[in-house]
Amino acid sequence: ETGVTQSPTHLIKTRGQQVTLRCSSQSGHNTVSWYQQALGQGPQFIFQYYREEENGRGNFPPRFSGLQFPNYSSELNVNALELDDSALYLCASSSGPQSFPTDTQYFGPGTRLTVL
Amino acid sequence: KQEVTQIPAALSVPEGENLVLNCSFTDSAIYNLQWFRQDPGKGLTSLLLIQSSQREQTSGRLNASLDKSSGRSTLYIAASQPGDSATYLCAVPSAGGTSYGKLTFGQGTILTVHP
């Protein structure tokens, strides 16, 4: 059983650019959630994908968008990058609503995004 | 809107000491509560998940308790070791409607255990 993986590990972009972050969910999981963690803060929920459909969104602007693929891997896209987008981006996978609330979410190692 | 608060923000203890980390939440209608560990610049590792019907969960030197009515949870670490140094986060999920399991996190407690 493979864990949650994310790529790239680190990324440096300049303000106004676009970025795509990737996440491979744990084997058997069909739900992926994305979180943004600013330095010294707890993670903030961005959105969740369940079976390739967006299944809820946090308080983030539309320039944050995502996709989930048939193999349940996922992408997070951020357009028009701003300095405040600098953060650790975490994805988490889980088994889906049928396993809630007993199942935990499994987090990847994160992608550190720096916007200059 | 659920809000989660953790106290203290940072804690430094000598090796071998027993310690308690605190987590409080504003909406007591939770399904479960999780404690995570995060090493610097890394992802989150789940330590313990307590269901709303449970009062506590134990894993090795870790014991987490939950009091839904008062909106509080504690993480007890026995005989602390330098390897326990990390940030500890508690989180509660939302459910129903959209985004089941969306986690609301506290800001974390930074624990340093010195030899």
Higher-confidence residue: A77 or A105?
A77
Q: Is residue B53 helix, strand or coil? A: coil
Question: Is the per-residue pLDDT at B96 higher than 70?
Answer: no
Specify whether the CB–CB gap between B67 and B33 falls below 8 A: no
Question: Is the per-residue pLDDT at A104 higher than 90?
Answer: no
**CB within 8 Å of A87: residues ≥ 6 apart:** A36, A37, A38, A39, A112, A113
CB contact under 8 A, B105 and A44: yes
Amino acid identity at B70: S
Q: What is the pLDDT of residue B98?
A: 52
Q: For residue B100, name the pLDDT band (cuts at 50, 70, 90).
A: low
Q: Is residue A16 helix, strand or coil? A: coil
Query: CA-CA distance, A109 to B16, in Å (whole number)?
Result: 29
Percentage of the residues of chain B whose pLDDT score is greater than 90:
79
Q: How far is CA B106 from the centre of its chain?
A: 8
- Name the token pair of B77: 């670490």
Chain B contact probe: residue of A9, A21, A100 with most B CBs at under 10 A: A100
Q: What is the pLDDT of residue A27?
A: 87
Chain A residues in contact with B95 (beta carbon < 8 A): 100-101
pLDDT 10s digits, A8-39: 999 999 999 999 999 999 888 899 999 999 99
Cis peptide before A109 (omega within 30 of 0): no
CB contact under 8 A, B103 and A47: no
Query: CA-CA distance, B77 to A92, in Å (whole number)?
Result: 26
**In chain B, which residue's Cα lies nearest the Cα of A35?**
B103
CB contact under 8 A, A42 and B34: no
pLDDT 10s digits, B28-86: 888 889 999 999 988 999 999 998 899 999 999 999 999 999 999 999 999 999 999 99
Instruction: Quote the minimal CA–CA distance from A79 to chain B in Å.
Output: 23
Please name the residue that has the structure tokens 């300095």. Answer: A83
Chain A residues in contact with B45 (beta carbon < 8 A): 107
Specify whether the CB–CB gap between B93 and B101 falls below 8 A: yes
Beta-strand relationship, B44-51 and B103-105: unpaired
Of A45, A90, A100, the CB nearest to B43: A90
Give the number of A-B residue pairs with CB atoms closer than 8 Å: 86
**In chain A, which residue's Cα lies nearest the Cα of B106?**
A42
